[in-house]
């Protein structure tokens, strides 16, 4: 049986996402859930390490400080509750749309990779709504586990003495182990979502099959996570380069404002630049989110139905055969 390569996976995913702009919209809507893979985890760890981190209990202390803010009147209480209710309603709506969009994205890409069938948005959205609670539970549990890993890494970095060689070696070993465990949970959650959406499996069965599929394709999952992480770095570079060209009209307006003394041109240039920058981030983010989800779905379909050999194992096999 011919086994797909990563080049084929990227080509197939690129073709699908580039020629189906609807997937970009679903990618934007599901962006609230973050990107599948190592990108979000590495970003969270970096943020925690580079920020003023004071241990795992700092979050609890911050929440305790918020709860001690005095409320002086009944009107303020009702206003606060009203605002909290609105925020919760908006948050629940965003979560619902994001989860259903990701499920619909999985359904559409799975149908295309399996039989080249273009699943309509109505059908895909219905599948997403039907599998909402299962996919939400998988995402929430995965996020909790990822947060535990991030907090643990942050605590280790906070306690480690970087002047001690033993501490540094232990920190490196613990970081590699933590990243592997994080990717294991992430990949298992991705595959479990695939089973939940594509095969309509219930929560426990999807989790079991997700971990089993990961155990059979550990190297493939690691290589895919690293590959998409480096592609994410390229995306960041594209945003940086694109932002330079995006702000050229604003720079021209600011130059004219400085020469003519018309200060309103400075404000117009600022608004124009920020608007174009937001559009750039939304479009690229939506495309890459759809691309990432589609790539994992492609590999899930191939692993589940055919099997995928890791490139490292493939090269090792070739070397052994030559020897």
Is 227 contained in some domain?
yes
pLDDT of residue 57: 46
Is 2 contained in some domain?
no
pLDDT at 321 > cutoff 70: no
Is 323 contained in some domain?
no
Is 1 contained in some domain?
no
Averaged over 99-122, what is the pLDDT? Answer: 90
Q: How far apart are CA 140 and CA 81, in angstroms?
A: 25
pLDDT at 59 > cutoff 60: no
| Structural domain that includes position 80 | 13-316
pTM exceeds 0.85 for this model: no
Neighbours of 43 (CB within 10 A): 14
> pLDDT band at 163, cuts 50/70/90?
confident
Is 4 contained in some domain?
no
pLDDT of residue 244: 86
Signed CA dihedral, 293, 295, 298, 300: sign only? negative
- What phi-psi label fits residue 114: left (phi over 0), alpha (psi between -120 and 50 degrees) or beta? alpha
DSSP 8-state assignment for residue 33: G
Is 88 contained in some domain?
yes
For residues 4 and 306, the answer to whether their CB atoms sit within 8 Å is: yes
For residues 142 and 185, the answer to whether their CB atoms sit within 8 Å is: yes
Is 128 contained in some domain?
yes
For residues 158 and 48, the answer to whether their CB atoms sit within 8 Å is: no
pLDDT at 314 > cutoff 50: no
Query: Which residues, including other chains, have CB under 8 Å from residue 31's CB and lie 6 or more apart?
Result: 98, 285, 286, 289
pLDDT of residue 178: 85
Is 8 contained in some domain?
no
Averaged over 222-251, what is the pLDDT? Answer: 86
Between 103 and 159, the more confident residue is 103
Q: How far apart are CA 169 and CA 176, in angstroms?
A: 11
pLDDT at 212 > cutoff 70: yes
Domain count across the chain: 1
């Amino acid at each position: 049986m011919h086994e797909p390569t990563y080049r084929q996976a990227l080509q197939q995913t690129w073709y699908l996402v580039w020629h189906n702009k609807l997937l970009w919209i679903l990618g934007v809507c599901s962006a609230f859930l973050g990107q599948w893979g190592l990108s979000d985890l590495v970003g969270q760890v970096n943020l925690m390490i580079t920020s003023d981190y004071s241990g795992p209990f700092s979050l609890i202390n911050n929440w305790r400080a918020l709860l001690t803010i005095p409320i002086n009147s009944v009107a303020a209480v009702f206003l606060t509750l009203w605002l909290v209710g609105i925020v919760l309603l908006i948050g629940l709506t965003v979560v619902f749309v994001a989860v259903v969009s990701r499920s619909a994205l999985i359904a559409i890409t799975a149908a295309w990779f399996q039989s080249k069938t273009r699943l309509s948005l109505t059908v895909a959205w219905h599948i997403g709504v039907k599998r909402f609670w299962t996919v939400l539970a998988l995402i929430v549990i995965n996020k909790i586990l990822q947060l535990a890993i991030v907090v643990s890494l942050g605590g280790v970095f906070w306690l480690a003495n970087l002047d001690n060689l033993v501490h540094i070696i232990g920190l490196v070993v613990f970081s590699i182990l933590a990243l592997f465990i994080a990717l294991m949970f992430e990949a298992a959650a991705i595959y479990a979502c695939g089973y939940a959406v594509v095969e309509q499996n219930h929560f426990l069965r999807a989790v079991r099959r997700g971990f089993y599929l990961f155990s059979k394709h550990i190297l493939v999952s690691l290589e895919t996570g690293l590959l998409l992480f480096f592609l994410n770095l390229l995306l960041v570079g594209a945003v940086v380069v694109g932002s330079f060209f995006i702000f050229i009209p604003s720079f021209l307006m600011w130059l004219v404002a400085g020469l003519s003394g018309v200060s309103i041109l400075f404000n117009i240039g600022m608004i124009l630049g920020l608007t174009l920058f937001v559009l750039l981030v939304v479009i690229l983010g939506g495309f890459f989110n759809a691309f990432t989800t589609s790539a994992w779905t492609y590999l899930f379909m191939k692993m589940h139905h055919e099997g995928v050999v890791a490139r490292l194992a493939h090269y090792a096999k070739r070397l052994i055969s030559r020897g």
